[in-house]
Amino acid sequence: RNPMSSDSIRRPLLPVLSSPLRRLLGIVLILFGLLAVNSLYLVSVTLAEWISGSMQQNYFYLLMFLGHLTLGLALIGPALVFGALHLRRAWGRPNRYAVGAGLSLYASAIGVFATGILLTRFGFFEVNDPQVRSASYWVHVLTPLALIWLFVLHRLAGPRLKWRRGA
């Protein structure tokens, strides 16, 4: 049936963020923010080691690395659930640019999660191939930059940002 025909029933579009989805997004953004700050510390130590040629890792670094693993694993479930539920509500929307940017954002998040799991050495699951680990590492390190860019594109394609609420 042609959606523009006069005999089709027009249903009002549901908001893409219901109240429960908005709360879940808040949880995802808080976890992502904590993970971003943690990641900046880990990157700075790695850069300091690369520049100085000496080991900079200490007990605090190991705690931060453990925090990175914990935050990353804690983020996977809420982010995947939010993305799936948000996509389900947004799929038929006329703003295809926002939908496309959202799909790219979701796919990139899945990529970060997958490479993070590949890099984690669980007792029952380990990837030991150095080439796979190296490729996974670089995808895991660089993809969050794409995630941030895609999030901004996705938000700019939608309703105006409420900067005060974010602050």
Find all residues with CB under 8 Å of 42, minimum gap 6, and list them.
61, 64, 65, 68
**27-86 pLDDT, tens per residue?**
999 999 999 999 999 999 999 999 999 999 999 999 999 999 999 999 999 999 999 999
Does the structure show a pLDDT above 80 at 4?
no
- pTM of the complete model beyond 0.85: no
- The CA-to-CA distance between both ends of the chain, in Å, stands at 45
pLDDT average, residue stretch 118-134: 88
Q: Smallest Cα–Cα separation from 33: which of 71, 76, 70?
A: 71
User: Would the pLDDT of 119 be above 60?
Assistant: yes
Element (H, E) at 128: none
For residues 136 and 113, is the Cβ–Cβ distance under 8 A? no
Kindly report the average pLDDT of the chain as a whole number.
89
Dist CA 119 CA 163 (whole Å): 35
